Amino acid sequence: MIAPRRRRPVGRLAVGAAIAAVIVLLAMVSLVWTPFPADRMAISVRLQGPSALHWLGTDQFGRDVLSRLMVGARNSIAVGLLAVGIGLAVGTALGTWAAARRGWVDGIVARLADVIFAFPLVVSALLASAILGPGVVNPVLAIGIFNVSVFTRVSRAAAMQVWGLEYTRAALAIGKGPLRVTLDHVLPNIAPVLIVQATASFAIAVLVEAALSYLGLSVRPPAPSWGRMLFDAQTLMALAPTLAIFPGLAIALAVFGLNLLGDGMRDALDPRLADTARREV
Partner 1 sequence: MRTLARRIAALLLVPALLAGGAALAQDKKTLTLAVTLEPPHLDPTAGAAAAIDEIVYANVFEGLTRIDETGTVKPQLATKWEVSDDGKTYTFYLRPAAKFHDGKALDAAAVVFSMERAVAADSANAQKGLFEPIEKIEAKDSKTVVFHLKRPEGGFLFNLGWGDMVVVHPDTAATNKQKPVGTGPFKFVSWTTGDRVVLEKADARAQLDRVVFRFISDPQAMVSELQSGGVDAAPNLNAPEAFAQFRKDARFEAIVGTTEGETLLSINNARKPFDNVLVRHALAHAIDRKALVEAAMFSFGTPIGSHFAPHHPAYVDLTGTYPHDTAKAKALLKQAGAENLEVTIKLPPPAYARRGGEVIAAQLAEVGIKANLVPVEWAQWLDQVFKGGDFDLTIVSHTEPLDIGIYGRDKYYFAYNSDAFRALMTELAGTADQARRYDIFRKAQRLLAEDSPAIFLFELAKLGVWKKGVAGLWANSPVQANDVTAAYWK
Partner 2 sequence: MLAWLVRRLLALAATLLVASAVIFIVLEVLPGDPAIVMLGIEAREDTLAALRAELGFDRPPLERYLGWVAGFFVGELGQSHTYAVPVVGLVTERLRVTVPLAFSAFALATLVAIPLGTFAAMRRGRAGDWGVMAFSQLGMAVPNFWIGILGILVFAVGLGWLPAGGFPGWSQGAGPAVAALVLPALALALPEAAILSRVTRSAVLESLGADFVRTARAKGRGEGGVLTRHVLRNALIPMTTLMGLQFTILLAGSIVVENVFSLPGLGRLVFQAVIQRDLIVVRDVTMLIVAFVVVVNFAVDMLYVLIDPRPQAAA
Other residues' Cβ atoms within 10 Å of the Cβ of residue 159: 25
Q: How far apart are CA 281 and CA 277, in angstroms?
A: 12
Would you tell me which residues interact with partner 1 (CB under 8 A)?
39-41, 43, 46, 60-62, 134, 216, 220-222, 234-239
Minimal CA–CA distance to 261: which of 14, 4, 7?
14
Of 135 and 192, which has the nearer Cβ to partner 1?
Answer: 135
Would you tell me which residues interact with partner 2 (CB under 8 A)?
1-2, 4-5, 7, 111, 114-115, 117-123, 126-131, 203, 207, 210-211, 214-217, 227, 230, 233-234, 237-238, 241, 244-245, 248, 251-253, 255-256, 259-260, 275, 277-281
Binding at 25: pick from partner 2, partner 1, none (beta carbon under 5-8 Å per type): none
Taking the complex as a whole, the smallest distance from the CB of residue 235 to partner 1 amounts, in Å, to 4
Binding at 43: pick from partner 1, partner 2, none (beta carbon under 5-8 Å per type): partner 1
Of 237 and 281, which has the nearer Cβ to partner 1?
Answer: 237
Taking the complex as a whole, the smallest distance from the CB of residue 133 to partner 1 amounts, in Å, to 8
Q: What does DSSP assign to residue 277? A: P
Taking the complex as a whole, the smallest distance from the CB of residue 44 to partner 2 amounts, in Å, to 25
Burial class (CB in 10 A: 0-12, 13-18, 19+), 258: buried
Other residues' Cβ atoms within 10 Å of the Cβ of residue 180: 12
Q: Answer yes or no: are the C-beta atoms of 281 and 205 closer than 8 Å.
A: no
Q: What does DSSP assign to residue 88? A: I
Minimal CA–CA distance to 120: which of 85, 140, 145?
145
